Amino acid sequence: MDEVFVGRQPIYDRDGKTYAYELLFRARNEASARFESGDAATYEVFQNILMDIGLHRLVGDRLAFINLTRPFLMGSVTDALPTQRVVLELLEDIEIDDEVVAAVQSLRERGYVIALDDYIYHENHVPLLKLASIVKIDLKSLTPAQLREHVRQLEPYKLKLLAEKVETLEEYETCLSLGFDYFQGYYLSRPTVIHGQRMPTSRLAVVDLIKNLYLPELQTKDLEAHISRDVSLSYHLLRFTNSAFYGTSRSIESIRHAIVYLGQDAIRNWIMIMTLRSLQEGQSEHLTTSLVRARMAQRLAETTSLEKVDSFFTVGLFSNLEHFLQIPMEHVLQELPLSTEVNAALLHYEGPMGEALRCAVAFESEHPSGTRRFRNLDETQIGRLYLESLAWAHDFDTAPST
Residues β-bridged to residue 163: 137, 183
Q: What share of the chain is helix, strand, coil (3-state, %, to 5)?
A: 55, 15, 35
Neighbour-count burial of 157, counting CB atoms closer than 10 A to its CB (0-12 exposed, 13-18 middle, 19+ buried): middle
Stretch among 100-114, 191-205, 271-285, 374-388 having the lowest mean pLDDT: 191-205
Model confidence over 227-276: pLDDT tens digits? 766 655 676 677 667 654 555 556 777 788 888 877 888 788 877 887 77
- Position 35 confidence tier, pLDDT thresholds 50, 70, 90: very low
Torsion, CA 14, CA 19, CA 21, CA 22, rounded to 10: -60
- For residue 217, the SS3 value is coil
Q: Count CB-CB contacts under 10 A for residue 187.
A: 15
| pTM of the predicted protein model | 0.52
Domains of the chain by residue range: 3-197, 201-398
Model confidence over 36-83: pLDDT tens digits? 455 666 766 766 665 556 677 788 889 999 988 887 787 755 766 788
How many Å apart are CA 227 and CA 266, to the nearest integer?
A: 14
Give the CATH number of domain 3-197. 3.20.20.450
Considering the domain 201-398, what is its CATH architecture? Orthogonal Bundle (1.10)
Residue 25's pLDDT is what?
A: 76
Q: Is the pLDDT of residue 31 over 50?
A: no
Buried b (16+ CB within 10 A) or exposed e, 117-146: bbbebeeebeebbebbebbbbbbeebeeee
Strand ranges for 124-253 from DSSP E:
134-138, 160-164, 182-184, 192-197
How many Å apart are CA 345 and CA 331, to the nearest integer?
A: 15
Distance, first Cα to last Cα, the chain = 29
- For residue 339, the SS3 value is coil
What mean pLDDT value characterizes the chain? 82
Residue 165's pLDDT is what?
A: 95
Residue 196's pLDDT is what?
A: 64
